[in-house]
Amino acid sequence: MTRGLGASALIGLLLIVVLVWFQDLGSVMQAIVAARWGIPIVVLLQLVAVWFAGMAWCVLVNGRGRDRVGVFVLARWIREGVNDLLPVAQIGGHVVGARILTFFGVDVGQAGGSVVVDVTLRLIAQLAFTAVGLSLLIGMGVADDTIRWIASGIVLSALGIAGFMFAQRWGLFRLLERGWAMMAERWPALWRGAVPDVHASIETLYGRSSRLIAGAILHSVALVVSACEVWVLLTAMQVPILFHQALLIESLALAIKNLGFSIPGALGVQESGYMLVGAVVGIAPPLVLAVSLIKRLRDVMLGIPALAVWMAIEGGYLWGRAKEKEPA
């Protein structure tokens, strides 16, 4: 863990503590206790969301994804666990996820390329999800300043995604491959096989329009499932809320959370996002803060087993390599 990531994680944790303190610890804990029957439901819903996201990834590589969907769901689960619980700035999990695929026979270049395209589709789906939230906000008659601020964020996000896609198509990963080749030559033990041709894989995947559309739709379904989590938790807290309001909260809070991509787990940013959007909808800050903290608990409940499975898979691979090196 670099000093910068460690410092940002610490600042994020302190921000969470400050938010809980100023919203009254007792009120936040009371809301969490009130939602107790909703917590296992939220964990199950998150597993459903991971399944849809894993299916979206699988579709890119395997068409309908019927052959090895379990492998992609497993890799997605581990990928989420790494990004949620480890100080990797929301990047390390993608690398680990691609590596997991290679253990199950997916070509290294295809695994790396599919992660890049899958992340791009997820970003596009999230952009559309945020746009839906914005339209719901407009329908509520919220102040113009708030609308303009969110609309500006959507435009900037769209430009960022367009730039990312442009970089993919015009050689960004060719440059990275040259660096990988140099590292492979210096540290061959770190590589499983040849240096990946990620750029060629990305070009191939972008040529499969029907699979791209299917992947984006599946990611959109996963995002709607995440809105169901908000609805379940607030309903468990006996807050009168309609599903479209829960969707509004989740879509805009997620957009704010994404601004903290460089902070491990977006600590503090996620909580601030829920509180800001919750205030617009008219939900008391301790309640939406409790929703965010329960989601943190959910991430830990699912992330720790995911990290354990990852370690087991890596350990099995290292054990196999050690056995291969043993003299006959």
- Under 8 Å between Cβ of 251 and 227: yes
Percent helix, strand, coil in the chain (nearest 5)?
Answer: 80, 0, 20
**Which residue in the block uniquely carries the two structure tokens 């996820």?**
97
Say how far apart CA 304 and CA 175 lie, in whole Å: 35
DSSP three-state, residue 104: coil
* Structure tokens that stand for 231 in this block: 């609805």
Residues shown for the chain: 328
Residue 171 carries which DSSP code?
T
* Structure tokens that stand for 246 in this block: 């829960």
DSSP three-state, residue 193: coil
DSSP three-state, residue 127: helix
Say how far apart CA 167 and CA 174 lie, in whole Å: 10
| pLDDT by residue, tens only, the chain of 328 residues | 466 666 777 887 888 888 888 888 888 999 999 999 999 999 999 999 999 999 999 998 875 545 588 999 999 999 999 988 887 666 778 888 988 998 888 887 788 888 888 988 998 999 899 889 888 888 877 666 666 777 776 777 777 777 767 766 665 555 555 545 554 455 454 444 444 567 777 888 888 889 999 999 999 999 999 999 999 999 999 999 999 999 999 998 888 887 777 777 778 888 888 998 888 888 999 999 999 999 999 999 999 999 999 999 988 877 766 666 666 5
Instruction: Give the residue extent of every domain in the chain.
Output: 38-302
Residue 35 carries which DSSP code?
T
In b/e form, how buried is each residue of 248-258, taking b as 16+ CB within 10 angstroms? bbbbbbbbbbb
Write the CB contacts of 153 (distance below 8 Å, at least 6 apart in sequence).
Answer: 130, 255
| DSSP secondary structure string for all residues of 99-139 | HHHHHTT--HHHHHHHHHHHHHHHHHHHHHHHHHHHHHHHH
DSSP three-state, residue 282: coil
Q: Let me know how many helices (H) and strands (E) the chain has, helices first.
A: 13, 0
Q: What is the pLDDT of residue 193?
A: 47
Q: What separation, in Å, do the N-terminal and C-terminal C-alpha atoms of the chain show?
A: 40
